[in-house]
Amino acid sequence: MASPRPPAVAGAARVSLDTVELAGQAPWSFASPVTPGLALSELVVAGLLRRGDVRFVERRRFAAAALAEERGERRPAGAPPAGVSEGAELLASVVWVPLPTGSSIEVRLTEAARGAVVGSRRASIPAGSDIVATARTVVRTLLAALESVGRLPAWTDPLGSAATGQAAGSGVPDRAVESFLRGLAAEESWRWEAARASYQDAAESVGFFEAEAALARAARLRLGGTLGES
- Indicate if the pLDDT at residue 225 is higher than 50: yes
Predicted model pTM: 0.95
**What's the mean pLDDT in 99-121?**
96
DSSP secondary structure, the chain, as one string: --PPPPPPPTT-EEEEEEEEEE-S--S---SSSS-HHHHHHHHHHHHHHT-SSEEE---HHHHHHHHHHHTTPPPPTTPPP-------SEEEEEEEEEETTEEEEEEEEEETTT--EEEEEEEEEETT--HHHHHHHHHHHHHHHHHHTT-------TTGGGGT-BTTB----HHHHHHHHHHHHHHHTT-HHHHHHHHHHHHTSTT-HHHHHHHHHHHHHHTT--TTT-
Q: What is the pLDDT of residues 38-59, one digit of tens each?
A: 999 999 999 999 999 999 999 9
Average pLDDT of the chain, as a whole number: 93
- Indicate if the pLDDT at residue 221 is higher than 70: yes
- Can you give the pLDDT at residue 143? 96
- For domain 13-170, the question of CATH label 3.40.50 is answered with yes
- Indicate if the pLDDT at residue 1 is higher than 60: no
Break the chain into its structural domains and give their ranges: 13-170
Q: What is the pLDDT of residues 156-184, one digit of tens each?
A: 998 876 666 666 689 999 999 999 999 99
- Indicate if the pLDDT at residue 202 is higher than 90: yes
